[in-house]
Structure 1
C-alpha cells in the first residue's frame, strides 16, 4: 500500500465536509481516517450515516490499474454495512479489492475505532462503466398502497413528529445534511435532503455517502412511527443495505420509508430514494433497526 499520509479532500465536497483523510491507497487497498468531530456525531457518537459513507469513499480511493486510468467515473452498484459497535473516537476504514471482473470491482472493508475495536464491516460492488442515467421507475405515491402521508404542522414540537424534528436538529451531522420531515403515517415516513454544497460530490451531484445518510435517517426514524417510544427507549441501526440506480442528480432527493416487519426489538424498513422534482427513483435501501429495550405498539 502506498503511504500518502494526511491526503485530504479539499474540493468542498461531502468527504471534505466530513474531514476524511486518505492515509494510504493503491490499486489493491486503501486506508482512510474519519476524525472524531462534533459535526459527524449524534448524541455524542459518530453517526451511522457517516460510517456508511466511508464504504464508497474508501472503495473509490483505491487506485485503478494503469490500464484503467482513463475509465469513466466510479459509481457504487450495491453495498451492505453491518454495525457492531458504537464509535466514540476517530475511526479508520481499511478496504481491499477482492476481485475485478470486467467493469466491476468487489471490495471488503473493516472500520475500527482508535483503540482497534471493530465498529462496522462492509462489502460493496463498484462499477467503472460510467455514470449514465438508469432507466429508473417513477416513485409510487403513496408507497405500499397505504394511506397518504400526513404533513406534520410546521414547527410541531410534540408527539412523534416533534421528537423526530428535535432529534434531527440536535444532531450536528444530520443538521448539516439539511434534512426535512415532509410527511408521515403509521409505519411510514417521507424525508427530504437538500442539495447543499456539503452533500455534493466534486462534480456537483449528490454524493453517494449523503444518499446513504438519507437512507439511514429515514430507515432509522420510520420504526418510531410504528412503535411510539416507551419512556427511556432508544435504538440504533444494526445493518444497512443500498443499491444505486445509475448516476445521481444534483437536485433535492426524497426518501420514502415503510416498515416491512417488526418484532419486540427489531424492525426491518425499506427505503426508496427519488428526485423531488422528477419523481424518478435513484436508490433503494433496507435498514435493520434495533430498539435497545422493548418498545410498545
Structure 2
C-alpha cells in the first residue's frame, strides 16, 4: 500500500503518541527573524535505512495536529502541509540516515512559539518521540519618556513612556529614584498592543503630583531575555520649555538601524546591575538581572542565546 498523503498516516499513527515509549522534552529559544534548529536525535543506531521510515514534525492540538513538515518513505521525499511553514521548515535526508531528524526553522516569527512534536516511526513501530518547546524573543526599543516642564506645586503631572517591537509581553515599572521604591500601580495605566509584525508595543501613562526635583524612572522588562531598559525623566523648579537639548541615540547595533529622540526635559541616566550568586538587584529596583541604559550601545545588541543554533 502506497500512501501519498500524510492525512491517512496521521490517523494510522495517532494512537502511537500515547504509547509507552519515553517522550523526550527539549526547550530552545530564538530571536525573531533568526533561524533555529529543533533537535530530534536517535542514538541507538549509527545508521538507519530510510526504507519503511516515517518522520513527522507537527504541532499537536486538541482537534487535529498542524503538520510542519514530514518525510514518507513511500514517497521518498519531504513535504509541508501548512502554509505557515512552507519554505521555512526543513529536515535533511542525509542527516536522517545518521539518526538526526532535527528540524531547521527559518525566519522565526512570534507565531512560531509552540510545542513541536517530532515523531519517528520505523516499520510501524514508534522509535522516537521528542517534544520541543520553542520560546521566541525580540528586544524592545529603548523607552522614550515624555514629560511636561515643571508647574505649580501639587499640580498633576502626566508622564508617558513608550517602547516598541518587543516580545514576549513586557512588564512596566515606574520607580521613584528618591528612595528607589516602585510607584503604586494605581498611578499608572499601561496599554500593550500587538503590531503588524506580531510584536508588542507598550505605552504607559503615569499621573503624579508635581514636587520639586521629581525624579522618576521608567523601566521596560523583557522576562525571557532577562533584560531591563531604563530611562529617567527628571524635572526641577528651574526647568522651562525648550531649555533642554534633545538627546538622540544612534542605535547602530539594531538591525533596523532605528534612532530614538529623547524629548525636551529628558535626562538619560546610566543604571548598572550587579549579578550576585545569591541574588541580584537593579539600582532603580527594576527586578531583573540585566539593565541596559541609553548611554550604552549594548542596549540594542541582539543577545546571543547559548541554546540558539
Q: Please identify the structure whose Cα radius of gyration is greater.
A: 2
**TM-score, with normalisation over the residues of structure 2?**
0.26
Write 1 or 2 for the structure with the bigger share of helix: 1
Higher relative contact order, structure no. (Cα contacts within 8 Å, ≥ 6 residues apart): 1
Normalised by the length of structure 1, the TM-score is 0.26
